[in-house]
Every structure is written in structure tokens, then in C-alpha cells.
């Protein structure tokens, strides 16, 4: 693995293109007050939850309200060779939204309609600005739910773009498995449809899954058809504390290897519990713990829970507590989801460099424990949470953004962790995407052949490098051009 260049890993390389004034004029003529050049608006669209803080904002923001708006904005930008950056709610962790080459942010937040709910087919079609919580609120009366839950109340467009997953993926899969069909505005400003509302299909190349995870670099998604699931008849949650992270992780490995259809199994380390207790006024035992949830029939849930409790006890699980009411359950998951914000509050002014490796389940303990020992030795403050049932976990290194030294030490920890994960057959990114931050890691993971093939696709679909340029892949001129 090559050492990444400092410029890429410590702050991204900014290489702005000049936006022709005529392009901005045309956008303003077409969009009126839906197009803003105000610095405050641009700045709000020029940052995300990544650790990067020094990138100038986009040149303009267009608030799209329809597919036609997106298509027209893309067409105007394409004509003038202006970069386009789709924007959902700004919860990206990898710098996806940063206008490193300048250009226009297309805010999809006003495209927030649930277009059609088809309970009899267990599907729903939404605009990309609908958030996951909004969706679940709007479909509540159908007895169905959308399980993918990355923590943040992200937009579904953003979740598609990063191939998000989160706490329920161990049972329900990720956005990869749960997007059936898309409407997409291509780099040329054409509107196409991918997929159908049928549950499966062998009809041609899987364009749906090409766009899912493409991070805005191949087109802008304007409609999304998702799979829904019947709300489980019974849900039951439990917390179990362990005297070591190793015990918690080994419990998880055994649960997965036995094929227990657990819905959620989350690791929270003692640091996280401490910060969450402070932030959410809880009094959880400040020890490593697993947060678990079981979905199914009453008997099925009981059966799963019993199996898991036995496994946990075998691995030294100390206090297996049941969380019985929906209110308690919500409180617990909210606490889990607030770990990130709890950390930001715990060390005021810090930024978080979040790791995202995912490894085959049997290698989880190897990967996680060695990296924890290194983090402990480094002196960098951190917390550790994980969707451990999928082999995915996140260290949050809490750095002072002004301290080049802390940033460098945290990045070094991350590099060692990623190298370890790749060597164990895993990936540098389980769910956050590549963005700006992991481009070198992607080359190390996939190899130059596969990345070259990705680049060939990028060149073919976006020949002027206008769609969220500089993310996932470095651009280099197509051969023979």
C-alpha cells in the first residue's frame, strides 16, 4: 500500500474551474429565486460532516423542485461545462458535497414528496429529498416500514448515492438490496429510468446498482422506488455489557455464524457509552456493550433471544437487560444514533475522522482489536461503534481541526486500519462511501485494473467530468482522446 499524499488525506486538493458568468445568468433566468448566489446559502451547501474544513463553497445553489428542474439545471451546466454537486441534507462524512472544483450545488431538499405508496406490493416511490424518518412517518398507517437506518436522518437520495446501510442491514440488507428502480438525470441532462417495480429482473445491465453508490458522479437521482417490509409482529431489544470489547465481538461472531436472524447487533465501546450517557442523560453501564434487536413472530423473537442470551453468557456477557416498551427502545436507539453528536459535544470544537472498514465476520476480532490497541497507544481521543453483525465498525477519532499533528496521527491510524482490513479480505468503506477521503484506499483495495474500469465508465457516461468531479476517482484523460 502506498502512503497517500498529505494533500489528499489532510485536506483535499482544491482546483476550481472558472464558472462563466453566462452560466450563472442562465440559471438565474431559468430558476429565479430558486437559484441563490448568496454567500450564506453557498457556504451552507459547501460543508458536510467530514473532517475537511477549508474548501471554498460552490458558486451557486439551485433549489430543484422537480425532475424538470434538475434536468434543466444539468443541461445549462453541461452546456457551459460547469460542475454539478447534488445535495441532500448535508450529512455526508467523506467530503462528497465539497465543491473542490467549484460549480453548482443542486439542492434536492424540496423534492420531498412520497410519490406513491404501494402497500400491496411492499414498495414505495419517493423523491430524493425525502428523509428516512419522514418516509417511515408517512407510511406508518400501512403497517410497513423502510428498515435502512444509517443513524442520521439522511435523505433517501443521499443514502442511494453512498449505498448506505446502518443498524438494520444485518437482517434487511443495504441500499444495494433495497432499491428497485430509479429515475436519473444523466450528465447530458436526459431523464432515464432504471429497473422496474418487479422484485427481481434479468433484463439487461443493472443500471440501478450502478447508480446506487455512485456518489453523484454519474447522474442525479430524481425518483427512487424502494422495498418495504411488514412491521414485525413482535420486536424485542436487549442490552448486554461485557468486560471487554473482545468478548462483545466474539459474541457477535458466534451469533452470525449460527445464522440467528437478528435484526440489529451494535457494538458500543465504553468511551461511547460515557459520552452518550452525558449527552442523552442516560445511566448505562460504562462498559463495552452490545445493543440488540429481534424482529419476528412472538415465538420467533423469543427463540432468537434465548439463543443469543446463551451465546452471550458463554462469552462472559454480564447483564443481559431487556428493553420492553417501544419508548425505552426508541430512547436506546436514539442514544446509539447520538454517539457521533455526543462526541462532538464531549470535546467541544473537535472534528471527527470516522473510519468505516468492513471485514468478513470471522476476521472482525482480529481487525478491530489490533486497531483498538493502536488507537489506545496513540493518545488520540476516540470512540468506537459498530454494525458488528456485518463486520463493519467505526472509530471516531476526535481531533482538533487546527492541529495538523492530531490530524496526521488520526490519519495514520486510519491508514493502518484500512490496510489491515484490506489484507483480511475486507473493504475501506462499509457504508460511508469513498468521497474525497478514501480515493487512495479505493485503489489499494480494488486494484488499478478495477479502478481503471470504473474510470472508463465515468469517462463514457460523463465525458466532460461535470458530475461531482474529483470524488471516488481521480480524473485522467481517456486514452486515445
How far is it, in rounded angstroms, from Cα 292 to Cα 297? 16
Q: Which of 362, 370, 404, 476 binds its own copies (CB under 8 A)?
A: 362
User: CA angle 392-419-444, nearest 5°?
Assistant: 105
383-442: which residues touch its own copies (CB under 8 A)? 390-392, 421-422, 425-434, 438, 441-442
Q: Which of 343, 459, 466, 470 binds its own copies (CB under 8 A)?
A: 459
Name which of 148, 354, 384, 340 is nearest 248 in CA terms.
Answer: 384
Q: Which of 1, 75, 210, 412 binds its own copies (CB under 8 A)?
A: 210
Name which of 386, 419, 400 is nearest 352 in CA terms.
Answer: 400
* Segment near its own copies (CB under 8 A); pick from 51-59, 84-92, 278-286, 293-301: 293-301
- Tell me if 162 contacts its own copies by CB under 8 A: yes
Judged by beta carbon, residue 116 or residue 330, the one nearer its own copies is: 116
How far is it, in rounded angstroms, from Cα 207 to Cα 94? 24
Element at 291 (helix H, strand E): strand 289-296
43-82: which residues touch its own copies (CB under 8 A)? none
- Tell me if 199 contacts its own copies by CB under 8 A: yes
Q: Which of 43, 137, 153, 190 binds its own copies (CB under 8 A)?
A: 190
3-state DSSP of 64-125? CCCHHHHHHHHHHHHHCCCCEEEECCCCCCCCCCCCCCCCEEEECCCCCCEEEEEHHHCEEE
227-266: which residues touch its own copies (CB under 8 A)? 229-230, 253, 256-259
Judged by beta carbon, residue 42 or residue 471, the one nearer its own copies is: 471
Least spacing, CB of residue 94 vs its own copies, in Å:
9
* Distance linking the first and last C-alpha atoms of the chain: 30
Judged by beta carbon, residue 23 or residue 434, the one nearer its own copies is: 434
| Strand pairing report for 229-230 and 144-145 | antiparallel
321 to 55, 285, 290, 401: CA distances (angstroms): 46, 11, 11, 39
Q: Which of 122, 235, 246, 282 binds its own copies (CB under 8 A)?
A: 122
* Segment near its own copies (CB under 8 A); pick from 16-24, 25-33, 70-78, 116-124: 116-124
Least spacing, CB of residue 424 vs its own copies, in Å:
8
- Tell me if 165 contacts its own copies by CB under 8 A: yes
How far is it, in rounded angstroms, from Cα 198 to Cα 191? 21
Cell numbers for 203? 433484463
Sheet arrangement for strand 264-268: 319-323, 234-241, 289-296, 264-268, 382-387, 392-399, 351-354
Cell numbers for 139? 407510511
Least spacing, CB of residue 192 vs its own copies, in Å:
4
Q: Which of 3, 203, 377, 477 binds its own copies (CB under 8 A)?
A: 203
Least spacing, CB of residue 467 vs its own copies, in Å:
13
Least spacing, CB of residue 165 vs its own copies, in Å:
6
- Tell me if 325 contacts its own copies by CB under 8 A: no
Q: Which of 6, 18, 456, 476 binds its own copies (CB under 8 A)?
A: 456
Least spacing, CB of residue 140 vs its own copies, in Å:
16
- Tell me if 140 contacts its own copies by CB under 8 A: no
How far is it, in rounded angstroms, from Cα 9 to Cα 434? 12
Q: Which of 45, 132, 163, 336 binds its own copies (CB under 8 A)?
A: 163
**Phi, psi at residue 246, to the nearest 5°?**
-55, -45
47 to 98, 147, 315: CA distances (angstroms): 6, 28, 43
Judged by beta carbon, residue 176 or residue 274, the one nearer its own copies is: 176
Least spacing, CB of residue 444 vs its own copies, in Å:
10
- Tell me if 209 contacts its own copies by CB under 8 A: yes
Least spacing, CB of residue 290 vs its own copies, in Å:
18
- Tell me if 117 contacts its own copies by CB under 8 A: no
How far is it, in rounded angstroms, from Cα 443 to Cα 463? 21
Amino acid at each position: 500500500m502506498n502512503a497517500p499524499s498529505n494533500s489528499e488525506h489532510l485536506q483535499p486538493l482544491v482546483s476550481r474551474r472558472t464558472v462563466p458568468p453566462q452560466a450563472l445568468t442562465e440559471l438565474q433566468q431559468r430558476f429565479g429565486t430558486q437559484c441563490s448566489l448568496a454567500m450564506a446559502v453557498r457556504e451552507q451547501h459547501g460543508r458536510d460532516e467530514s473532517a475537511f474544513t477549508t474548501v471554498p463553497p460552490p458558486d451557486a445553489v439551485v433549489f430543484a423542485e422537480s425532475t424538470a428542474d434538475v434536468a434543466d439545471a444539468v443541461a445549462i451546466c453541461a452546456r457551459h461545462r460547469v460542475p454539478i454537486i447534488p445535495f441532500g441534507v448535508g450529512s455526508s462524512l467523506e467530503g462528497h458535497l465539497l465543491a473542490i472544483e467549484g460549480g453548482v450545488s443542486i439542492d434536492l431538499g424540496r423534492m420531498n414528496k412520497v410519490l406513491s405508496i404501494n402497500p400491496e406490493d411492499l414498495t414505495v416511490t419517493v423523491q430524493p429529498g425525502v428523509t428516512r424518518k419522514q418516509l417511515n412517518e408517512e407510511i406508518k398507517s400501512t403497517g410497513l416500514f423502510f428498515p435502512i437506518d444509517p443513524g442520521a436522518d439522511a435523505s433517501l437520495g443521499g443514502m442511494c448515492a453512498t449505498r448506505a446501510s446502518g443498524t438494520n442491514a444485518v437482517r434487511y440488507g443495504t441500499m444495494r438490496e433495497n432499491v428497485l428502480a430509479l429515475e436519473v438525470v444523466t450528465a447530458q441532462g436526459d431523464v432515464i429510468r432504471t429497473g422496474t417495480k418487479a422484485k427481481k429482473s434479468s433484463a439487461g445491465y443493472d443500471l440501478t446498482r450502478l447508480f446506487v453508490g455512485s456518489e453523484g458522479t454519474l447522474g442525479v437521482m430524481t425518483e427512487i422506488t424502494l422495498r418495504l417490509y411488514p412491521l414485525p409482529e413482535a420486536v424485542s431489544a436487549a442490552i448486554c455489557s461485557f468486560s471487554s470489547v473482545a468478548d462483545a465481538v466474539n459474541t457477535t461472531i458466534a451469533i452470525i455464524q449460527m445464522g440467528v436472524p437478528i435484526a440489529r447487533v451494535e457494538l458500543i465501546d465504553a468511551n461511547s457509552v460515557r459520552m452518550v450517557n452525558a449527552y442523552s442523560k442516560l445511566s448505562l453501564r460504562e462498559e463495552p456493550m452490545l445493543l440488540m434487536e429481534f424482529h419476528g413472530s412472538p415465538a420467533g423473537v423469543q427463540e432468537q433471544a434465548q439463543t443469543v442470551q446463551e451465546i452471550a453468557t458463554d462469552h462472559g456477557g454480564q447483564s443481559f437487560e431487556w428493553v420492553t416498551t417501544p419508548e425505552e427502545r426508541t430512547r436506546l436507539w436514539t442514544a446509539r444514533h447520538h454517539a457521533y453528536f455526543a462526541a462532538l459535544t464531549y470535546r467541544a470544537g473537535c472534528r471527527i475522522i470516522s473510519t468505516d472498514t468492513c471485514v468478513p465476520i470471522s476476521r472482525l476480532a482480529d481487525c478491530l482489536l489490533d486497531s483498538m490497541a493502536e488507537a489506545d497507544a496513540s493518545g488520540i481521543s476516540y470512540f468506537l461503534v459498530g454494525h458488528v453483525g456485518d463486520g463493519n465498525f467505526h472509530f471516531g477519532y476526535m481531533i482538533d481541526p487546527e492541529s495538523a499533528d492530531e490530524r496526521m496521527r488520526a490519519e495514520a491510524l486510519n491508514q493502518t486500519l484500512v490496510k489491515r482490513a484490506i489484507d483480511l479480505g475486507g473493504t475501506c468503506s462499509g457504508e460511508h462511501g469513498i468521497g474525497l477521503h478514501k480515493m487512495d484506499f479505493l485503489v489499494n483495495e480494488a486494484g488499478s485494473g478495477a479502478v481503471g474500469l470504473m474510470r472508463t465508465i465515468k469517462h463514457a457516461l460523463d465525458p466532460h467530468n461535470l458530475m461531482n468531479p474529483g470524488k471516488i476517482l481521480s480524473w485522467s484523460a481517456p486514452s486515445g482522446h
